[in-house]
Chain A
Amino acid sequence: MLKLKSVKTFVIASAVSLAAATGALAFPDKSIEYIIPFGPGGESDISARFQQPFFKDKFGQDLVVSYKPGGGGAVGWAQLNSMTADGYTIMGVNLPHIVIQPAQKDVGYTTDDITTFYMFHYTPDAIVVTADSPYQSLDDLIADAKANPGSVTMSGSGKATANHLAQIRFDKMADIKTTYVPFKGTGASTTANLGKQVKAQWGYTTVGAAQGDAVRMLAVAMEERHPLFPDVPTFKELGFDMVGGAYRGMAAPKDTPAEMIKALSDAFGAINADEAFRKQMLDGGFALLDVDSAGMADFMKARKDEYIQAATEAGLLN
């Protein structure tokens, strides 16, 4: 506790000096409404809850989390640009959702409508099997899938989602055919895997963190191994160029003044820089990411190309 406090004081001090240096002392002078376009309890909600106390500590104002679920997030994103654009209303954004949804059908917004100002973490894709699964390594799974095309069933959260795109990309890279079974959310997909309704799961490192010894991850889609799982290889080590997962960040209505966007980006950057916050996120199995408002355009373009290509090849976009 003591340690945490000293970290906090340090961070507050540095934040204050930062604010003084940029002359933006006035921001934020009231609470910020943080809308999650999903229901409570999911990864988007949980990671926003992680940010909540740190925001209050650093900036003295509340980050008020509210929910606007519907249409897999589409209902919220379609309304974002009609909300008050004063920098005090922000919304969580998710990738690949905001790329795939408008590419599939008219959902009331386009990818470029969303002014994302910070991407703060991602949940890296991972193949998860139960502790007593016959698949000891990724090779075992590939061998089984090669011997019995289509019979390796893998659960995942939803269709045309990060899990689904990962399955499509990996099948192509490994030249195998697996069967993807979409479930309603990661919780249901994990339940199906633990209950042996499927042979493996396309999940995230967060599943490994939550399930502990009950599961084994065969590989994770990160540049380097996740600090929480030093024994789990990356896909890259095993010869598959797969890095990614579900990315989460925050966006503001498009008419929000540029200096407000900058201030918001800096504020959430400061939270991401907090060691206590980083530790909490890593312990939960998340992987941190720092894409600020300046670097957003390049980041989005790269993701967009990648997703559209995978989805087109899989025939998800017609």
Chain B
Amino acid sequence: MGFEHLANALTLTNLALALFGVVAGTVIGSIPGLSATMAVAVLVPITFSMAPASALILLGAIYTGAIYGGAYSAILLNTPGTPSAIGTTFDGYPMAKRGDGDLAVAIACYASVFGGMIGALALLLLAPPLSSVALAFGPVEYLWLSIFGLSLIASLSTGNVLKGLAGGALGMLLSCVGVAEISADIRLTFGVSTMIGGIEVVGALIGLYCIPVLIDLVATPERHLKVEQGVRAVRFREAALIAWRSRLNLLRSSVIGTVIGILPGAGGSVAGLVAYSEAKRTARPDQKFGDGEPDGIMATESANNATVGGGFIPTLVLGIPGTPPDAVILGALLVQGVRTGPTLFDGGGSIVYTFIFGLFIATILMLPTGLLIGRYAYKTIVTIPKTILVPAVGFMTIIGTFAIRNSISDVIIMIVLGSVGWVLSRFGFAASPIVLGLILGPIAEQGFVQAWIIGDATGNLTGMFFGRPISLAIIAFTILSLVYPIIQGRRAKRILATQANSND
């Protein structure tokens, strides 16, 4: 990893590719339905004619840009552009609603750049040793990790835990529809063959988050987002100050993101949720998570961009993709004739290190481009009249959902789920627990079934589920995050007689 690799990464072509990748990725990622995986897959054929390192830089830049871009729609439309940005909606949208959308977008940009840098740094310096994390996680660990993620439901739905749990259960039930991932059983299709494909997570996200926003936009006379009167200075500096004050949160979330990125069975959405959960647990008493707290955005956005670097660790060291976009990139590398694995770092290191420096450059480029595009996106969404905004976003949700797997039934499912979600929200059931159940349910199910089979075969079921150190640590954290809100709630109740009920 010498100077020559940095110089290789700094050629005009590679710089241009990194810039193009980041900009294209940010724009694609901001459109709900167009995910990072798809952005990368679409561009793979273009990279065939490139040098391997340049191809990797382009794909890596698109990937990292798309993960950041997902924050825009999360903040401004309450709809995660990519699943990684689910947690960003929790506080981003409330911020935008009260007129701080520009601040939220800037904070998300700083957090994403910071997280991306930490992830890339881990990839540069610690890739081979860290790759063992991917192997230390067995089925049981994934089971407990997803339960830990599900425990976030309890703290997300303060004062409304029962409704939150019901939502989570509904989400898990929805995740069962179709062909079961590992047992190959066909479940809950009610004889309809179009349901065999199950409920697509991204389509469900769009429906559950975006459709209610659209309905409310049409149903209420108010503006979409509150706009401050008068000209305001750009809030880059204010955002930077907030980010600096929360440097500990940024660092912790980035480390969480990097480690979870390494786990092939998890990914950006889980990383963001776990980081959010931890940020919330360690928050000061005056911070109101879920109510427009900047620290919430910082936690998810730094964590999800850290998964980019983290995910490349098992991809490049073990040849096992850390995240879905990594799987596509791994395929592109194979076609290029590049063999991944430990030898790639030793022997053919030049490609890897050129790429890692390229990833750094792309992440740094995200700062100016992200702030610029973010400002533009904010201004557009805020100033555009409702009569244009609603049909435009509505059109995008349909196109985006269709594009995921060229399926019209996904669009129908999206609209049905969205309408049901809107009705449920009238009764105090929030979208997030449903989505958590939908995403984490399958991970928990697989982990449970596999752990059971292995534990049963080795005659040690209890030891399998409760006797492994990493599992025990995750269980401890789960209990902590379940009990903590109760203690916190009591303390808050003592201070304030009335407490605002927030449930989304």
Which residues from chain A sit less than 8 Å from chain B, CB to CB? Answer: 39-42, 45-46, 49-50, 52-53, 65-72, 74-75, 78, 104-108, 150-153, 158-161, 179-184, 187-188, 190-192, 194-198, 210-212, 214, 280, 283-284
Contact = CB atoms under 8 A, between A and B. Distances in A.
Contacts of B493: none
B45 A52 contact: yes
A195 B138 contact: yes
Contact of A45 (B179, B197, B331, B457): B331
Interface in B295-336: 314, 318-321, 324, 326-328, 330-332, 334-335
Given A184-B182, A284-B334, A191 B135 contact: yes
Contact of B186 (A39, A40, A107, A210): A107
A152 B457 CA distance: 8
Which residue of A105, A158, A182, A214 has the most chain B CB atoms within 10 A of its CB atom? A182
Contact of A41 (B139, B330, B340): B330
Contacts of B326: 41
Contacts of A184: 181-182, 265, 446
Nearest to A73: B179
B331 A197 contact: no
A85 to B, nearest CB: 17
Counting chain A CB atoms within 10 Å of each CB, the highest count among B137, B330, B334, B406 belongs to: B334
A34 to B, nearest CB: 11
B457 A159 contact: no
17 contacts: A39-B324, A40-B41, A40-B44, A40-B327, A67-B405, A68-B405, A68-B407, A70-B179, A158-B182, A179-B453, A182-B182, A183-B446, A184-B265, A187-B264, A191-B314, A195-B135, A211-B341
* Main DSSP-derived SS at the A contact region: mixed
Contacts of B156: none
A40 B48 contact: no
Given A46-B331, A151-B458, A181-B450, A195 B134 contact: yes
Interface of B: 37-38, 40-41, 44-45, 48, 134-139, 178-179, 181-184, 186, 191, 193-194, 196-198, 200, 264-265, 314, 318-321, 324, 326-328, 330-332, 334-335, 337, 339-343, 405-407, 446, 449-450, 453-454, 456-459
B179 A67 contact: no
A50 B198 contact: no
Which 7 pairs across A and B sit closest by C-beta, in order of nearness? A41-B327, A70-B197, A195-B135, A108-B193, A179-B457, A71-B196, A75-B197
Nearest to A70: B197
Contact of A159 (B183, B200, B340): B183
A192 B139 contact: yes
Contact of B450 (A52, A53, A182): A182
A195 B137 contact: yes
Contacts of A280: 335, 337
Given A67-B405, A71-B196, A40 B328 contact: yes
